[in-house]
């Protein structure tokens, strides 16, 4: 199994650019290249996937057991001509003092020859003790070659090659000159995702061509082939491999929001969702005007703050999502997804409206609020729990957010207690509202949690519950030639289907003739709910219409005359396409 690790002496040495270039250059030669990324990262893997044409999988010693890492690697690398693992930070960097979760530990576990990318700006003879020190620090690690990066010119390269040849036994596999065309765009949270770059394909091709010109690809291939035999994992290959398991005859339709604003998904999570019986349905937050028919929705992380105007402009989709959530749609949202479901998002001097399904506002900061690995413990309010999965589970994940929540009601429910990390407020994470679980933590199935299967099972339970209501618990109403479903009392099943035509058809079925006064009440109820996210009580309605109509008409008696079937609280809300009040449940 041909394989190698691309690492560095320290962060920002250029290993991501080099790895992208190697994947692109070797793929251009006709090789099947399987990329991997060490650690919890979304953006680097997106670029590596584009460069290789294959999904990049993350290998994380903190979140995964050694057998899980071996299983994931061997399963995904099977059939590849060469597998390339990109490290994170420096070769020996990691959380643990003993280096047990470092890049070097991963190299030792998987038997990976190491290619060290060195930023050589300002270096000449000093490169020798650097290489010798890295070789001597851990005898179990095989540093098979170095790639010199950011060279100042041909004379600089000649000096470095002479020093390395004289003092070390390490092969120089390539020498890359400083080149602005190799740069990847960075911003406040790191690299810009490839999906946001209109010229990503051309940029990757350029990087591949430059690397092919300056790195000996033949030596890279030979080095990868020299890796020793890798032991097989004694356990099931990986969660990703479970995707080959039999799927239910009728899979659930699970929406996945994928566009320029939202794109942070681990491929093994998506495979696990499919293995659990979910059909993944793409949703575009920037272009789609309405949610397609769905049983559940997953909104991953991303950069909603970068696309604030576009997200606010798509009011139709935001309204469709809000209505679906109010009607009970199961939703899981991580980080950027949490921000999108809030009422508003404020960054610098700009504030925009978001979905408004969660009673919170989001504020962006200049520095990270939560960053790094997290450890969570489920509470009794975690919505996916079952009798066999009680509260108190310990989950591992990671977070990286520059935002915080404001104006949170005191009675919010949370799915997690934070044992390590920050979460929403340093103590809690996983905001729970109706069938929504929204958190700053990023989870990964098979890496400290089994969230994909738990979420799909929760979606399935909610669907079965909706489909097994008592006979007569639903009815249909003909609206402009289309059948619209309501419950037995006339409340919409999908609040997004409300229209004035629905109100007219509903009123006609109840032998109620709508007047201007009725429409004033209906529009007031809808406007009040849009603003406050709760339905107006009768006393609030009386106070409002006493000012509008005067006390002779703006009173409880007149409102009940207008809405004789259940009164203004019930019939008014029903015609306005709103939910049952708490007293009616």
- Give pLDDT tens digits for 59-104: 999 999 999 999 999 999 999 999 999 999 999 998 888 888 899 9
pLDDT category at 448 given cuts 50, 70, 90 is confident
Taking the alpha carbons at both ends of the chain, their separation in whole angstroms is 61
pLDDT category at 238 given cuts 50, 70, 90 is very low
**Confidence (pTM):** 0.78
Q: Do the Cβ atoms of 312 and 335 come closer than 8 Å?
A: no
Q: Stretch 218-240: mean pLDDT, rounded? A: 74
pLDDT category at 188 given cuts 50, 70, 90 is low
pLDDT category at 35 given cuts 50, 70, 90 is very high
Q: Stretch 160-185: mean pLDDT, rounded? A: 89
Q: Do the Cβ atoms of 179 and 144 come closer than 8 Å?
A: no
pLDDT category at 351 given cuts 50, 70, 90 is very high
Long-range contact pairs involving 199-202 (C-beta distance under 8 Å, separation at least 24): 200/47, 200/50, 201/50
For residue 429, give the nearest of 379, 393, 385 by alpha carbon: 379
Residue 327 and residue 314: Cα distance in Å, rounded? 20
pLDDT of residue 201: 85
- Percentage, residues of the chain above pLDDT 70: 92
Residue 210 and residue 87: Cα distance in Å, rounded? 21
| pLDDT mean across residues, the chain | 89
pLDDT in tens, 397-406: 999 999 999 9
Report the b/e string of 162-192 with b at 16+ CB within 10 A: ebbeeebebbbbbbbbeeeebebeeeebebb
Count of Cβ atoms closer than 10 Å to residue 122 Cβ:
9
As annotated, the active-site residues are 335
pLDDT surpassing 80 at residue 150: yes
Judged on CB neighbours under 10 Å (0-12, 13-18, 19+), 209 is middle
For residue 92, give the nearest of 130, 145, 45 by alpha carbon: 130
pLDDT of residue 534: 85
pLDDT of residue 233: 58
Q: Stretch 458-483: mean pLDDT, rounded? A: 74
| Residue 562, CA distances (Å) to 15, 373, 386, 490 in order | 71, 58, 46, 17
| Residue 73, CA distances (Å) to 94, 146, 432, 515 in order | 20, 24, 35, 68
Q: Stretch 229-251: mean pLDDT, rounded? A: 54
- Percentage, residues of the chain above pLDDT 90: 69
| Residue 33, CA distances (Å) to 85, 146, 303, 495 in order | 11, 20, 29, 48
Residue 325 and residue 333: Cα distance in Å, rounded? 12
pLDDT surpassing 60 at residue 472: no
pLDDT surpassing 60 at residue 540: yes
pLDDT of residue 309: 96
pLDDT in tens, 403-417: 999 999 999 999 999
pLDDT of residue 507: 87
- φ/ψ of residue 227, rounded to 5: -60, 140
pLDDT of residue 554: 87
Instruction: Name every residue whose Cβ is closer than 8 Å to that of residue 274 and which is 6 or more positions away in sequence.
Output: 243, 247, 251, 280
Q: Do the Cβ atoms of 145 and 112 come closer than 8 Å?
A: no
Residue 515 and residue 254: Cα distance in Å, rounded? 42
Instruction: Name every residue whose Cβ is closer than 8 Å to that of residue 221 and which is 6 or more positions away in sequence.
Output: 2, 26, 31, 82
């Amino acid at each position: 199994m041909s394989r190698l690790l691309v690492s560095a002496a320290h962060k920002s040495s250029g290993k991501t650019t080099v790895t992208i270039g190697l994947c692109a250059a070797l793929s251009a030669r006709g090789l099947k290249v399987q990329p991997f990324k060490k650690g919890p990262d979304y953006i680097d893997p997106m670029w590596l996937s584009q460069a290789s044409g294959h999904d990049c999988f993350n290998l994380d010693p903190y979140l995964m057991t050694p057998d899980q890492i071996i299983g994931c690697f061997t399963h995904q690398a099977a059939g590849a001509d060469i597998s390339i693992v990109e490290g994170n930070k420096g070769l020996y960097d990691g959380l643990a003092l003993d280096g047990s979760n470092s890049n070097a530990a991963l190299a030792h576990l998987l038997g990976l020859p190491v290619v060290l990318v060195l930023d050589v700006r300002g270096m000449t003879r000093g490169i020798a003790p650097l290489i010798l020190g890295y070789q001597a620090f851990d005898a179990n690690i095989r540093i098979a070659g170095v790639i010199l990066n950011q060279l100042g010119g041909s004379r600089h390269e000649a000096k470095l090659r002479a020093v390395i040849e004289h003092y070390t036994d390490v092969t120089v596999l390539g020498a890359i000159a400083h080149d602005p065309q190799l740069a990847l765009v960075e911003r406040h949270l790191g690299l810009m995702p490839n999906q946001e770059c209109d010229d990503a394909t051309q940029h990757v091709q350029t990087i591949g061509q430059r690397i092919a010109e300056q790195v000996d690809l033949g030596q890279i291939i030979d080095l990868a082939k020299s890796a020793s035999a890798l032991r097989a994992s004694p356990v099931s290959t990986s969660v990703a491999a479970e995707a080959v398991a039999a799927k239910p005859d009728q899979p659930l339709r699970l929406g996945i929001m994928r566009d320029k604003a939202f794109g942070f998904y681990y491929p093994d999570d998506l495979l696990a969702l499919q293995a659990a019986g979910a059909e993944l349905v793409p949703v575009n937050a920037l272009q789609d005007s309405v949610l397609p028919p769905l049983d559940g929705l997953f909104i991953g992380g991303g950069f909603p703050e970068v696309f604030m105007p576009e997200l606010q402009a798509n009011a139709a989709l935001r309204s469709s999502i809000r209505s679906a959530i109010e009607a009970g749609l199961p939703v899981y949202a991580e980080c950027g997804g949490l921000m999108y479901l809030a009422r508003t998002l404020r960054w610098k001097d700009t504030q925009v409206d978001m979905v408004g399904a969660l009673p919170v506002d989001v504020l962006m900061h200049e520095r990270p609020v939560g960053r790094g690995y997290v450890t969570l413990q489920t509470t009794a309010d975690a919505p996916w729990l079952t009798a066999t999965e009680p509260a108190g589970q310990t989950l591992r994940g990671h977070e990286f957010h520059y935002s915080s929540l404001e104006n949170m009601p005191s009675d919010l429910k949370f799915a997690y207690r934070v044992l390590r990390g920050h979460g929403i407020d340093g103590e809690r994470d996983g905001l729970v509202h109706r069938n929504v679980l929204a958190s700053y933590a990023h989870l990964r199935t098979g890496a400290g949690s089994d969230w994909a299967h738990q979420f799909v099972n929760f979606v399935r339970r909610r669907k079965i519950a909706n489909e097994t209501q008592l006979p007569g618990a639903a009815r249909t109403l003909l609206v402009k030639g289309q059948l619209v479903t309501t419950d037995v009392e006339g409340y919409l099943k999908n609040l997004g289907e409300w229209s004035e035509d629905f109100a007219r058809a509903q009123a006609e079925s109840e032998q109620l003739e709508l007047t201007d006064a009725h429409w004033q009440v209906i529009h007031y109820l809808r406007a009040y709910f849009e603003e406050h996210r709760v339905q107006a009580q009768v006393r609030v309605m009386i106070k409002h219409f006493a000012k509008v109509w005067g006390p002779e008409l703006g009173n409880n008696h007149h409102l009940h005359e207008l809405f004789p079937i259940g009164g203004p609280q019930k019939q008014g809300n029903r015609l306005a396409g709103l939910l049952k009040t708490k007293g009616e449940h």
